[in-house]
Amino acid sequence: MLQAISRSDFLRLVGVKSSTLDQRVLTGEAAFALGCHRPAHVGEYLVLDAVAMLVASMLNCFAGLDLKAAAGLVREHWQGWLTLVTKAERPMTEGSQLFFAITWLSLEPGLSHRRYRVAMGEAHEIMAALAGDSIYTVNSISMHRVLHHLRSNAELAKPKIILPQRLTIAPHEAGYENWRVEIRAYQERAEARFKAKTGAKAKATTKPARAPARKRLVKA
């Protein structure tokens, strides 16, 4: 139920080079689905990973966040944007839009930088969540636009990438509980791979202790 794709298809869906992806993973600027730092399997990605990368890229381009911060928010708020995808893939009231919004707050006395808040949902839901805040500006990413770009990239790819009609299962639909079980199992595998990778890297960079100098007889 979690649709997997090859590395080459993933790169074409998100429009980056292989070396660029490797660099982003190394620096923590790569966003993957379900809160994961890395995919669960080498050379295999989820279609939802492509959604995560596109969301992070748009937050970087349009919401005033650097790419590492954007990727971190995509990992942290994976449940929220996955809910947006689930709703966006199903019929909504005409004209309705779902947003991943970054709200920059007014600069507080004594601070040299602005704080921001994350809010998700339709426009009226976001404004209700921000009631009482001193708002400087709101930058919103449309989840419908993200999904449109994903499917456009799939259509334009050569050869064309065939995506499933829907990437998600809604709570009221058959198979939802099994889908959530699959998500938890995937997260466990991805976390185990990430820990193994970071643990091996830490071990490789740890310098061995220097042997104590041999004592020598001091002669007059």
Give domain limits for the chain: 4-93+143-196
CA distance 12 to 130: 37
Q: Which amino acid is at 151?
A: R
Higher pLDDT, 10 or 209: 10
- pTM equals 0.87
CA distance 70 to 88: 21
Give the tens place of pLDDT for each residue, 81-99. Answer: 999 999 999 998 887 899 9
Integer Cα distance of 15 and 10 in angstroms = 8
Q: Which pLDDT does position 30 carry in this prediction? A: 96
Q: Per-residue pLDDT tens for 112-156?
A: 678 889 999 999 999 999 888 888 889 999 999 999 999 999 999
Query: 139: which 2 tokens?
Result: 């930058």
32 in Cβ contact with 196 (< 8 Å) = no
Specify the pLDDT at position 206: 53
Instruction: Say which amino acid occupies 139.
Output: N
User: Contact, 91 vs 101, CB < 8 A?
Assistant: no
Residues 97-106: pLDDT tens digits? 999 999 998 8
